[in-house]
Each structure stands twice: as C-alpha cells, then as structure tokens.
Amino acid sequence: METDMEERHSVGLPDTIRTFTKELWDHVLASDISISELSSSVPQLTYLMELVQRSEVRTVIEIGFNVGFSSHAFLSASDNVQVVSFDLPENKAALIGKEFIDQRFPGRHQLIVEDSRTALPKYIAEHGESLFDLAFVDGGHEYAAVKSDIDYCRVLCRPGSLIVVDDLTPWVPWGTGPTRAWTEVLETGDIKQEEIYRDGILADRIEGPADRVWALGRVR
C-alpha cells in the first residue's frame, strides 16, 4: 500500500521550503560558480524537516552538503538542531551555500571540506563516537564510498538513531552503488529499515521507475 506524501502535505507544506530553496539557489547562481549536481527535491526536504520534528532530533551529520538545501531544511525544522556536513573540496558551490547557511543560522552549522572517507575517521578520532541523532547520506555514488559513509555514520550515531540514505535507484548508473551498500547493511542487521519513499510516495520496496528514492533506517 502506498500513500502520497505530496498529497498529504500539499496544503501544509512549509512556506520556508519554497522560499529558502529559491533564495539559496539565487545566492549560489549569483556567484557564477558552476553547479555539477542537482539538490534535494521539495518532497524530500519536506520529509527531512518533518523527520527532525517528529523524532526530536538535535544533532545531524550530513554526507554531501552540495549547496546546502538539506542543511537548511534540518536547521529550519528546529532551533535546537546542530548540523555537521561533509563535502568534497572540488565543490566550490558548497562554500557559497555555506555563506548563506551561516547568515541564516549563525553558529549552528559546520562544513568540513574533505573526502568523507578520510574526514570521517579523523572526526571520530577527534570527537568520539555516538554523537548524532540523525545521519543523512547523500554524497558519493560509488559503492565503496557509500559503504564507507554508512559504516562511519553508524559509529557516529547513537544506538537507536536514524539514518537516511538517498539515491537508491539501481536502474540508473549512479544508483547502483548506494543501493548495494544499503542492501548489504540491512542484511548484516546493523541497520533496520523503517521506510522507503519513491518520489515522495511511501512504498514497500525499491522499485522503478522513479527519479528519487530514499530509505530511512534505525541504527542498532
């Protein structure tokens, strides 16, 4: 059985989502820096905001900042949220998006500009384990990168914390790695899957056609 998230929220969709995505997008475009990848959809941003609110999330780790849409969603969902994001040095647009985030949410966001495969173990060594209530994995698409991100995020999340993994679309090249990594971690029992969404529609399996598929799990 499927329920349409967009239909449920068509009336109550926060105005902040439509407003901040345009403002943030305009801010980045004004810098004349090229953007190589599209960001989260409005249904996904709505989902992330509501997940933070209903789960009383206070700390978020995000792999893949891009230009900051999802970070803005997390931070605007609650005044009590702190976000730590990781992105690659070659993504120059991330620094422009970071400026916008800091103007809106001073002191509540940290961006670490380094490959997550080296940055995450450093972060664990410096700050310890079991720090975060929610992890959002939306970075590299190669299997090894996604597997590494999920494994390190499990260490950084408290037992019972939530993890969202994006790009579970194995019918397109960039979705095979994330789907394989997610499937394997479910098979080991390290994460228990709770929800799958296909283009904003709650579903019971990863299945195409769909442009965007993400899953929610709970760290054991």
> Cα separation of 102 and 161, whole Å?
26
- Distance between first and last Cα of the chain: 26
Q: Is residue 101 part of a domain?
A: yes
Whether residue 217 lies inside any domain: the answer is: no
| pLDDT at residue 3, as a whole number | 44
189 is in which domain, residue-wise? 3-212
Residue 173, pLDDT score: 97
CATH code, 155 = 3.40.50.150
Does residue 149 fall inside a structural domain? yes
d(CA 142, CA 146): 6
Burial track 3-18 (b if 16+ CB lie within 10 A, e otherwise): eebeeebeeebbeebe
Residues in Cβ contact with 155 at an 8 Å cutoff, skipping those fewer than 6 apart? 124, 129, 130
Q: Identify the three-state secondary structure at position 24.
A: helix
- The total number of structural domains in the chain stands at 1
Q: What is the pTM of this model?
A: 0.92
Q: What is the pLDDT of residue 36?
A: 63
Question: Looking at residue 12, what is its pLDDT?
Answer: 53
* Neighbour count for residue 173 (Cβ, 10 Å): 9
- The Cα 5–Cα 189 span in angstroms is 28
Q: Assess if residue 219 is contained within a domain.
A: no
The full DSSP string for 100-146 is HHHHHSTTSEEEEES-HHHHHHHHHHHH-SS-EEEEEE-S--SHHHH
Work out whether the CA dihedral 122, 126, 128, 134 comes out positive or negative.
negative
Residue 163 β-bridge partners: 135, 217
pLDDT of residue 34: 77
pLDDT means per 10 residues in the chain (220 residues)? Answer: 44 72 93 75 94 97 97 97 97 95 98 98 97 98 98 98 98 98 98 97 96 97
What pLDDT, on the 0 to 100 scale, is given for residue 192? Answer: 98
Characterize 93-105 residue by residue with b for buried, 16 or more Cβ atoms within 10 angstroms of its Cβ, and e for exposed.
Answer: bbbbbbebbeebb
Closest CA to 88 of 54, 131, 119, 61: 119
Ramachandran quadrant class, 3 (left: phi over 0; alpha: psi -120 to 50; beta: rest):
beta
Q: What is the pLDDT of residue 33?
A: 85
Domain assignment present for 218? no
